[in-house]
Structure 1
Amino acid sequence: MLLHSRWLPLALAITTINTVQAAGLELTQHGAKEMAHGYAGTATLLEDASVIAHNPAGLMRLQGRQFSGGLSFVHAEIDYEARFISERVESLYGLPAREVNGPGAGNSKQLTVVPHIYYSQRLNEDAAIGIGLYAPFGSGTEFPTGWAGRYHSEETQQTAVNINPTFAFRASDTLSLGLGVVIQSYSARLTNQIDLGYLVAEAVLERVEEQSGASAAQAVAPTLLNNYGSKPEYQVLNEIEIASVAYGFSAGMLWQPLDALRLGLNYRSQISHIAEGEAKRTTLEQAGFKDNFITQISADSGLTQQEAAETLEKAFDERGSLGGDIVSRIHLPQLLTLSAHYDLSDRIALMGSVTYTNWSVFKEIRLEYEDTSSRGGSDITGSGDDVRRRDLVQPLNFSDTWRAGIALRYQATPELVLRTGYSQDESPVKDADYRTPRGPDADRHIFGFGLSYKPAAEWDVDLAYSLITIARADINARENPAGTQHRAEGHSEGILNNLGVQVNYRF
């Protein structure tokens, strides 16, 4: 049994995450206090056991045993308004581009629940341990059935869940260090429609041109493309699901040179997955239009029914839309956060941070078929299977990013703390050519507000709200991996409302 078949259900059962698109794929909802600060100063805030995710060295600031658990409720609304155009085959035969039928304005609305659970324990004056479970990465969009962008994407869900045991120790009176092991499960579900009619029309035109010449193909091209291209009755559903477990590490440093000043550094390593799964496609027989399709193709193209049948079969064989077992290399990036915390007075603290993420390792989603035939190929899994069939590739072309923010903490009363903050978060998607419905990302602004209330010495509760605005950005993307390369031309924008609650208990 594969390792992920044991760990992935456990992690997902605990975290029940319906993912949403963050900057790139990053999810920052690891703690309610951090949300209230707009995710600024996270590596030096260090007031509860969520330090495990934000800076493991911060365990040295906690006493005794502590538990922190919370939920973040995220409502994401992503607008993707575009004209979806088929033009690749049309351009070969001197025809104008055509718009794909269906509404071009796609609106993805999702309510996401992102849980986090942490436990810390002080071993002695010089050491502490802890363990956390949280989601560092995730993305999700779901557009309505029948929209014009269905060949680009209908559903996209990606989730990474970390199990993160950590250890921290005091290196000196002013310096603490922390180190953790990251056990990360990754899963993805990608669905879209394949414009089979368009692919068949292309194959038929190639056959007509081979047999009767370019002028004959050009004469029948308008009929074939109009009758079959982008027709809901001639499309098949593409469902891809993959999962894996991989390993990395986290590290942190906390330095307090002055009583009023502390500096924190948090690092999470890159984690590389080889995810395995399956591409499920409707077969030609299941599609239910084989016989009628063959007859119509023959009548419209002049090919015999036998020639039309052979051409149609190619769209469903291993070179076309046939499903099968697949593998994919997924590289989730390393993150480095530097934070500072300064006490302006006994009641007011100012904090800030910058975060670097090397998203450039996440260039594409490449899905490679496993094939045990003798035709050769690359064996990336080490299983002995050949990978030869045409890869399914969604280009992303992510770039490295920075996030910077500033926050304020106010001790209103001994029991009540008020919090606020702001961050500017850079998107890894820089080019309109790669702003697809699977990842309609752009630069964002994060505004955070919240409070912490301590009714008793043993426990307190945090409430937080953050508003994330995703900038309006241009779109000029071609769908892939469905093969037809229809183009989307328009813009996207979005807004995320985050509500967080967390309970912290000391014993």
Structure 2
Amino acid sequence: MQQKYLPLIIAAALSALSVSAQASGYRFGSQSISGQGTADANSAEAVDASTIFYNPAGLTRLDGTQISAGATVVVPHSTFNDTGSTHFTGAPTGGTAANDYAPNSVTAPSLYVSKKLNDQWAVGFGLFVPYGAKLDYGNTWTGRYALSNIKLEAVNLNPSVAWKMNEHHSFGFGIDAEYMKAELGQAVDVPGSIAALSSGAGAAQGAALIKQIAALGGNPALLRTAGDAHGSNDGKDWGWGFNLGYMFTLDENTRFGLAYRSSISHQLRGSTVWDFSKVTSDPIVNQVLAAASHKTNSAALVALRTPETLSANVFHQFDSKWAGMADVTFTRNNRMGDLDIQFPGTTEGNEVIRQQWKNTVRVSVGGNYAYSENLTLRAGIAHDQSPVKSAELTHPALPDSDRMQYSVGANWKLSPRSSIDFAYSFLDFKDANINYTNQCNPLATSCTGNGETTRGVYQTHMSLIGLSYNYKF
């Protein structure tokens, strides 16, 4: 692929990312339309160039040069019912209901190219979206002190090579170059801070603020009507990893596969901006409150390590019409510990989003039916565990839960060289309870946070519609 086109392709991929939806965590599950049609049970089938993602050893089964270009449209539906979110003072946060926080629809692209060099060697290149999240709750919802918006985007470039040792054993290897960028916003609890400084242990500090505002010519009375400030962070980074595949072909009808995809370390570097300009109508009051918060615009740094996966799969052709397949994928999610947002160059303590994820298993089974020479029908079902341990560790950035996936699909041959894949999936999530408390508060100097408690129930389901075009040279 010519180098001049790569930035354009990456830009197109990043501009069309999905809500974190299909696989557990932030991972975007289906990376091909043929795979989606069987609920991603077809990793050992190696039917097209998307085997680069699922098992690169399958490249040895593909003839000539093949290309597969597709897109999956995600149509989410999610509601949040608040059950008592509070300031760090214990008072209700108030605010508006969370409406339309998930996008109406988004699209995630994929592109795979494979080439058979000879009877033993094959190479390939994949471009796909491994992770994505996009939620915008707005600045006034009841959980705004935990999060107002999040956008996580990633694209992976995956050159691969495969070697066929003999008729039974094939091996594959790929390099992963992953670009990731993220944005996160949240309210700053100024009203709660003022309330905490109006009496008790904070009264002296509150009186000093009033005196300072008056001395500078401001109007201390506006403290009673103060609203929220707002903070925003962004960061981006390239990371590197690898993936391995092995395929054992028992006979012409049966094969088994093993695939491993490594974790990737990222150092997301960017900036943090704190905005106190709309807290009150008096710039002097706003300036004093901003200074008292010890929050200054600065660089931002988030270190994270993506989960690694290990998959085992099988494919069997029962007869000329029917084929069955299955996949079990283990994901080491405990690589994703707490997220620490650091503010280099300042005395401000880290902001910690507690996650402490658990490892998960995804199980899928599927089948193909050759309806005719030109039409193959597919179906599959999968159960995917959530890495979130409990309601106390559920954060609005990822209101995740266990889910079932039900998929159907089809491949229609347009000619001996070209075909179209179509897939539809319905994902049904269990209700996700949230009872998350930030262990810092806005008056603390050793850490950053609002000390809020976000309580409620998420109810989510979604549809995925996939379409791809395949061509053989």
* Pairing partner for 2:379 from 403, 409, 420: 420
- Aligned-residue offset at 1:116: 0.3
Q: How does 1:31-430 map to 2 (within 5 A)?
A: 31-41=32-42, 43-86=43-86, 88-89=88-89, 97-110=90-103, 111-203=105-197, 205=199, 206-208=201-203, 233-283=226-276, 288-291=281-284, 309=288, 312-317=289-294, 321-371=295-345, 388-430=347-389
TM-score by length of 1: 0.82
| SS at structure 2 position matched to 1:44 | coil
**Counterpart-to-counterpart distance in 2, 1:200 and 1:238:** 18
**2:139, 2:186 within 8 Å by CA — same for their partners in 1?**
no
**2:85, 2:142 within 8 Å by CA — same for their partners in 1?**
no
In the alignment, is residue 494 of structure 1 matched against residue 443 of structure 2?
no
Structure 1 residues 469 and 315, CA, compared in 2 at 3 Å: closer, same or farther? farther
- Aligned-residue offset at 1:55: 0.7
**Counterpart-to-counterpart distance in 2, 1:285 and 1:80:** 27
**2:307, 2:335 within 8 Å by CA — same for their partners in 1?**
yes
Deviates more, 1:486-495 or 1:440-449: 486-495
Q: Deviations over 1:325-356 (max 9, x none)?
A: 01110111101111111111111001011001
- Aligned-residue offset at 1:103: 2.7
Q: Deviations over 1:98-124 (max 9, x none)?
A: 221223444423211100011110000
Percent sequence identity is 24
* Pairing partner for 1:449 from 400, 408, 411: 408
User: Which segments of 5 or more consecutive residues in structure 2 lack a partner in the other structure?
Assistant: 208-221, 441-447
**1:349, 1:409 within 8 Å by CA — same for their partners in 2?**
yes
**Counterpart-to-counterpart distance in 2, 1:327 and 1:338:** 36
**1:104, 1:149 within 8 Å by CA — same for their partners in 2?**
no
**Counterpart-to-counterpart distance in 2, 1:209 and 1:14:** 54
**1:133, 1:164 within 8 Å by CA — same for their partners in 2?**
yes
Structure 1 residues 172 and 193, CA, compared in 2 at 3 Å: closer, same or farther? same
Q: Deviations over 1:241-276 (max 9, x none)?
A: 110001000110111112221001111100011110
- Aligned-residue offset at 1:235: 1.1
Instruction: Read off the aligned partner of 2:292 and give its amino acid letter.
Output: A
| SS at structure 2 position matched to 1:40 | coil
In the alignment, is residue 12 of structure 1 matched against residue 5 of structure 2?
no
Structure with greater helix share of residues: 1
Instruction: Read off the aligned partner of 1:422 and give its amino acid letter.
Output: I
**1:336, 1:355 within 8 Å by CA — same for their partners in 2?**
yes
Instruction: Read off the aligned partner of 1:241 and give its amino acid letter.
Output: D
Q: Deviations over 1:419-444 (max 9, x none)?
A: 00000000001210121211100000
Instruction: Read off the aligned partner of 2:469 and give its amino acid letter.
Output: V
Match of 2:443 in 1: none
| SS at structure 2 position matched to 1:199 | helix
**1:200, 1:315 within 8 Å by CA — same for their partners in 2?**
no
**Counterpart-to-counterpart distance in 2, 1:367 and 1:70:** 35
Q: How many residue pairs align between the two structures? A: 445
- Aligned-residue offset at 1:388: 4.8
- Aligned-residue offset at 1:200: 3.7
Structure 1 residues 370 and 7, CA, compared in 2 at 3 Å: closer, same or farther? farther
TM-score by length of 2: 0.88
**Counterpart-to-counterpart distance in 2, 1:454 and 1:238:** 52
Structure 1 residues 455 and 78, CA, compared in 2 at 3 Å: closer, same or farther? same
Deviates more, 1:9-18 or 1:157-166: 9-18
Instruction: Read off the aligned partner of 2:256 and give its amino acid letter.
Output: L
Match of 2:214 in 1: none
- Aligned-residue offset at 1:315: 3.3
